Structures are given as C-alpha cells and as structure tokens.
Amino acid sequence: MRINDIEYIEVEVLDVRAAEHASEAFSLILTDRHNITRYVPIIIGLNEARAILGEKHGRMPQRPLTHTLFADLLTDHIPDYNLEFVSIDEFHDGIYYASIVIQSPTGTYFNVDARPSDAVAIALHAKLPVFFRKSLFEELMRIAKKSSDYQETTDFMDFQPSATAPTAETEWETMSLSELKDLLQNAIDEENYELAAKIQEEIDKRGNRQ
C-alpha cells in the first residue's frame, strides 16, 4: 500500500511480552502479515499492554477505556467521520510516531498524531488495518528463528507481579548508569511516568553514593 507516495506494509499484533529490563514495561510485537518471522518490538507501558491484550482477546472492562472512548465517540456520535486505518510512520531518537487516519464528510483525509500503543489499541477496537512504513520496518525488524517463536500469548488483564519474581529494582542493580538513562528515556517517551520516577530514584541513589 502507498500513502502519500510512501510504501507501507500491513502488520498485525502477534503478542505483548514483558520487556527485558523492567516489570512495568512491555514489548508490543508487530509482525508482517505475510511473513510472521519478520517482527518489530515496540516498548509500551502496563496500561497500554492491558488495553491491547484486552482487545486482542475480547476481554475488556465494563467501563470504557480512553481508546474505546475515542473510537466510539467518533464512529457512533459524530456523523460522517470515519476511522480508516492507523499507520506507524517515523522513528526518531528512540521514539515511534504513529497516525490515526480519519475520513471527513467531504471525503478528504486527515491524520491525528498518536503514540503507536494508542493507535494500535484503537485499531483493534475499531477493527482497522495497521500499516507500517516499509523502509522503517525493514530497517528495525528482527527475524524470529522459528515461525512459532512468538505464538505464546500472556494475559496481563489481571497482571500482578509474582512475589517470587525479580523486581525491576533488582534488575536495575545489574545495569550500568548509561543503560538506566536509556531506560529512563524510553519510559518518558512512552509517557510511563510512574516507571520513569522509579528509574530516576535509582539514578539519584547512585549519584548520592559517589
């Protein structure tokens, strides 16, 4: 598919996995619809993981979440505006940029800037296709060793950290200051401010020891 003369490929949500370095962060796994072994992981927060997995598995809370409120308001209560698709367009300084594409009553299209996690949640709720800029996908993609590598799913709707599982703070103790700063920036980029505050506390502790 071409959007504004830029080639895109259609992707789908295969899974959401716990991220490597913090229990509060998760990886959204987007795969090429035509080749499941080609995938791109995007770091998202716990609430976004719950929203996406809730939509994927058809288990949503009784009261609307933010993404359902947006989609339902536009499709059910604003006449002649249509949600068309979402796209992941850019990646700069560790931040992904996505768009929600809407058709107006005059037949023209306009884009709403969005985080990928919100855009994907809206797409799942409204049953919209998700497109990824082809050159960007091919630049950032990873190749699974087997097509079944990411078949396993994990339910985070009732996520509670295991009492015996390593805490994020324990994992951070093994990380360098540079790695912590990178993790902090990722948390800020994803607007996961609770996680960012905890990482900043760990960075401050190390500064006080010096």
How many angstroms separate the CA atoms of 72 and 43, rounded?
26
Q: Coil, strand, or helix at residue 183? A: helix
How many angstroms separate the CA atoms of 143 and 4, rounded?
28
Residue 101, amino acid: V
Q: What pLDDT is attached to residue 171?
A: 63
Per-residue pLDDT of the chain (210 residues; tens, 9 = 90+): 777 789 999 999 998 887 665 556 788 999 999 988 899 989 888 888 889 988 988 887 778 888 998 998 888 888 888 999 999 999 987 889 999 999 998 889 999 999 999 999 999 999 999 999 999 999 999 887 654 555 444 343 333 333 333 345 556 777 788 878 877 777 776 666 667 777 887 788 776 655
Helices (H), 15-167: 46-57, 66-77, 116-126, 134-140
Q: What pLDDT is attached to residue 24?
A: 60
